[in-house]
Amino acid sequence: MDLNIGDTFSASRLVTDELIRKFADVSGDYNPIHLDEEFAKTTRFGKRIAHGMLSGAFISAVLGNEFKDRKIVYLSQTMKFTAPVFIGDTVTATGTITNIREDKNIVTLETVCTNQNGETLVKGDAAVMVLE
């Protein structure tokens, strides 16, 4: 593999009302915290927040796109949600290689999502098998 520990991959996405509504349709998660402004005003967040797994999808997209020439199988992903994602946020998902197991072609990455202010939204680890 022509990958190295420390290699970093990232991509950014703007979170819009339309994106949240499409994610609700795809996932079937219609929790009012994501879709109902009046309800969301009564929560500790004070306004609607994006689905946590939307950030997970952003991580998946980064790995899928960055490894597209190699073909991967996603083996695992951990996620700790540390701050909410709001409509209008630009989320940058980043994966940084932390370990390479050559004998099994397994790559482990630290995964982090941040917003436009550099605030950490999600952090975790992913493992992928590279099918060269």
Residue 81 within a domain = yes
β-bridge mates for residue 19, sequence order: none
What is the number of domains present in the chain? 1
In whole angstroms, give the CA distance from residue 76 to residue 83.
22
Range of the structural domain that residue 63 is part of: 8-130
pLDDT in tens, 81-118: 999 999 999 999 999 999 999 999 999 999 999 999 99
Residue 84 within a domain = yes
- For residue 24, the model assigns a pLDDT of 98
* CATH label of the domain that carries residue 110: 3.10.129.10
Phi-psi region of 64 (alpha: psi -120 to 50; beta: other; left: phi over 0): alpha
Instruction: Indicate the pTM of the whole model.
Output: 0.93
